[in-house]
């Protein structure tokens, strides 16, 4: 299963950038994951304005923590 990974930075400084895994988002194929990734990241960022999403990618079994909550 593919998971959405987002690269986020602190909005106030644009620094301290890290990768996080989106919770409850798994896809059977990479195309579906990529297609949904930007919308899911946008939705998450709109609820977590302390962070700025600077990119997304899809991966299998990513060893990164889940996204932080504001």
- Report pLDDT for 43: 94
Q: Is the per-residue pLDDT at 62 higher than 80?
A: yes
This prediction has a pTM of: 0.89
The kind and range of the H/E element at 52 are strand 51-60
- Report pLDDT for 53: 95
| Tokens, residue 56 | 């997304």
Q: Encode pLDDT of 12-48 as tens digits.
A: 888 899 999 998 889 999 999 999 999 999 999 999 9
Burial of 27 from C-beta contacts in 10 A (0-12 / 13-18 / 19+): middle
Distances (CA, A) of 36 to 11, 15, 16, 19, 24: 23, 26, 25, 17, 13
Report the DSSP beta bridge partners of residue 55: 7
């Amino acid at each position: 299963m593919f998971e959405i990974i987002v690269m986020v930075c602190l909005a106030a400084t644009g620094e301290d950038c890290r990768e996080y895994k989106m919770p409850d988002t798994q896809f059977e194929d990479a195309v579906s994951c990529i297609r949904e990734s930007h919308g899911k990241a946008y939705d998450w960022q709109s609820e977590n304005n302390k962070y700025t999403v600077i990119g997304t990618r899809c991966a299998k079994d990513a060893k990164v923590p889940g996204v932080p909550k504001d």
